[in-house]
Structure 1
Amino acid sequence: MDFTHVRPPALPTLLACLGLIAGMPMQAQGEPAQPFAVPQSGVTLITGDTWQQNGLQMRLYGVQSCIRGTQYTNPAGARLDCGEASAVMLGALIKDTRPACTPIAQINGTAESEPATILVVCTAHVGANNLDLGTIMITQGYAFAAFTLAGKPVYTPYIVAEAAAKNAKVGLWAAQDLQDPNAILFNAVNASK
């Protein structure tokens, strides 16, 4: 598997996605969207919730990964990049579970040079089970429930999964200095007003 990492999108792009996700339909009218496989090569991880494949940018609907450049202290005492940890977990899950994703909406880039982002819901294959990839990321403590600018969860079951992971102190929640990415994004929104 040949995953590559790239520089994450700028904060204004993240904020635009956060605002545009509010009220997005779960599925467009007309023909149901067809699931597609995430390839086992040629995938570029952007963040722990966004990747590129075949020239298209995909983002897990309702999921917010750690923001690259934010730090946390792991149980061994090392300071690490939280966003990198989220991206590594997403890459490992894609490799191990070979998810199939269904597009549910598209967000156009905020600048001509930015690609559109396709919001997807993905099913991961774990043994004989098919599980939601976003739920796995969140319950394992490597991603968070995304929120709208109005402060409401994009997908309510993810906030329940996040609370369980936080209470169990799994994944990144084991770090006492973990910075919640939603708090960072909301602070940036408030500072820009």
Structure 2
Amino acid sequence: MDLRHLGVSRGLVLCVLALIAPSSAAAQQAGSSSGASPASPAPKIAPLPVFDISSAGIEFQTGDTWSQNGRTFRLYGVQSCIRGTTFTNAAGIKRDCGEVSIAYFAALIKDAKPRCTALAQSGPVTFAVCAAHIGAQTLDLGTILITQGFAFAATDPNGRPVNFQYAVAEGEAQKNQRGLWASPDLPYPSAILRNAYQKAH
């Protein structure tokens, strides 16, 4: 995995505090029991801890959401593939897109041992940004997932990216057909969730 093109935004936390809104929770995975609905109130900003993602006792709900020590966390601004949607891999075999997102996320956490900063609480979900350690480099976990094509930039119900940096990373992954973007029938999660939201309203 070539990670030389990845970087860390020092202003990400300030960006989160400015942008986090109910619409970010609306992009929560279909099928995740902890997901907040588009009508949820805005997350309350509160001082929350810095923590490590434990290699033991962690349960992956989706490719962007996990539980540990009785709490549920979600990567801010990241949208993984939806479980139950399928894509065709390079061997021509149909695979569950959400399960592939989870497998990549779990492998990355095991190898990179991320440290996270909790940003805000929305219902039972704590939004966080995480730094991963790849060799001597410290990189943003969301940027890695998106740039490598195993997650996407979360959007609001109108299709606007929650985090512009992630939208740029997604465009690069799509252009270079990295990860899931190599599939000819990628079930693009942001479009699926946006269509579902529009039909419900």
Shared fold, TM over 0.5: yes
- What number of residue pairs does the alignment pair up? 172
Using a 3 Å threshold, how does the CA distance of structure 1 residues 14 and 188 change in structure 2: closer, same or farther?
farther
Is 1:9 the counterpart of 2:32? The answer is yes
**C-alpha distance in structure 2 between counterparts of 1:175 and 1:15, whole Å:** 29
* Aligned-pair CA distance for 1:150: 3.3
Distance in 1, Cα, partners of 2:110 & 2:39: 31
Aligned-pair CA distance for 1:24: 5.7
2:23 aligns with: none
Equivalent position of 1:123 in the other structure: 131
Match of 2:95 in 1: 80
Distance 1:171 1:54, change over 3 A: same
Matched with 1:161 is 169
Q: Aligned-pair distance for 1:190? A: 1.4
TM-score (normalizing by structure 1):
0.83
Give deviations 1:124-180, integer Å, cap 9, x for gaps: 000011100000000010000001123221111000000000000010000010011
2:147 paired with 1:139: yes
Structure 2 gaps, min length 5: 1-29
In structure 1, C-alpha distance between the alignment counterparts of 2:73 and 2:200, rounded to whole Å: 27
The residue number in structure 2 matching 1:112 is none
| Deviations 1:36-58, CA, capped at 9 Å, x for gaps | 00001110000000000001000
Does the 8 A contact of 2:35 with 2:125 survive in 1? no
From the superposition, tell whether residues 97 and 20 of structure 1 become closer, same or farther in structure 2 (CA, over 3 Å). farther
Partner of 2:143: helix, strand, or coil?
Answer: helix
Assess if the C-alpha contact under 8 Å between 1:144 and 1:162 holds in 2.
yes
Q: Hey, what's the Cα distance between the residues in 2 that align with 1:188 and 1:15? A: 14
Asked whether the 8 Å contact 1:15–1:189 carries over to 2, the reply is no
Structure 1 stretches (4+) deviating beyond 4 angstroms?
18-21
Partner deviation per Cα, 1:6-33 (whole Å, 9 max, x = no partner): x9425xx6461x5659x768xx36x5x4
Flag the 1:54–1:46 CA change in 2: closer, same or farther, 3 A.
Answer: same
Q: SS of the counterpart of 1:176?
A: coil
Q: Which runs of 5+ in 1 are unaligned?
A: 1-6, 109-115
**TM-score when scaled to structure 2?**
0.80
Aligned-residue RMSD, C-alpha: 2.0
Contact 1:43 1:51 in 2 (8 A): yes
SS at match of 1:161: helix
